[in-house]
Amino acid sequence: MTWGLLLYAGFVVVVVILPWEGGGFPPLYNFINLVVFNCLAFLAAASHARAMLTDPGAVPKGNATREMMQKMGFEEGEVVFKCPKCCSIKPERAHHCSICQRCIKKMDHHCPWVNNCVGEKNQKYFVLFTFYIAVISVHALFLCVNHFIYCVNEEWRGAVCSKYSPPASVIFMLFLLIEGLLFAIFTAIMFGSQISAIWNDETGIEALKKEYGSWTRQAKWKSVQAVFGEKFGLSWFSPFSSVQEVFRKSRYYSV
């Protein structure tokens, strides 16, 4: 569904609003906006795919056995948390997802838009997905409103506005306007909540359950680095770069 909405937005922008030929805007304006829109769409789709296909940090099922505990170096009498639902050794800050039927490390929530949990290993891609969708939605809204105003001023003269009829063009842009507005608001809120959670080193589930003080919080910048990477750079905005697991102190995260 997400990719279908992206394809629809791409169709309206590329075919209806920014045609390769004709139109009342300078060719450079059309070209720049086409490049920007398609780059944002590609990054949004790639981020969505990574968030959907990347293991969020699932704990192996049924590993809470004496043999496995000995293999992992647990000492006799040491307290080990076990999930009663999936019979796995439960790492610190892990939660059981009733949809995935797995324990997920640093689980934030299960997102139907990516059909996956958002957890320790794929949170970066989910944050990038919400960011790029919010930006591309605002860009599409700008193009849509700008083009509509221009066409009204030009009284929809022939191919100057669109190769489609005025009613068809209005319907296409109206649906894009609604889609862009809804997604801009929704993803901006999601992006803000994710950044706040990362900054405060607190997942959505931990905030909901008010699990305060049950773990040692990282410094705010260290928490951001744990999600996006040690050094700030373009890799923070790339859905193709992975984060090295260098900030996870507990050995329970190695299960």
pLDDT in tens, the chain (255 residues): 788 999 999 999 998 888 755 556 678 888 999 999 999 999 999 999 999 999 999 988 877 777 777 676 766 666 678 888 888 888 888 999 999 999 999 999 999 999 999 999 999 999 999 999 999 999 999 999 998 988 888 787 766 677 788 889 899 999 999 999 999 999 999 999 999 999 998 898 888 887 766 667 788 999 999 999 988 999 999 999 987 654 444 444 333
100 counts as catalytic: no
Sign of the four-CA dihedral 17, 19, 23, 28:
positive
Whether this prediction's pTM lies above 0.85 is answered by yes
Give the integer Cα–Cα distance in Å for 222 and 78.
29
Give the integer Cα–Cα distance in Å for 16 and 5.
16
Residues 111, 144, 151, 161: which is the catalytic one? 111
Tokens of 92: 């610190």
Query: What b-and-e string marks burial along 116-155, b requiring 16 or more CB atoms within 10 Å of the CB?
Result: bbbbbbbbbbbbbbbbbbbbbbbbbbebbeebbeebeeee
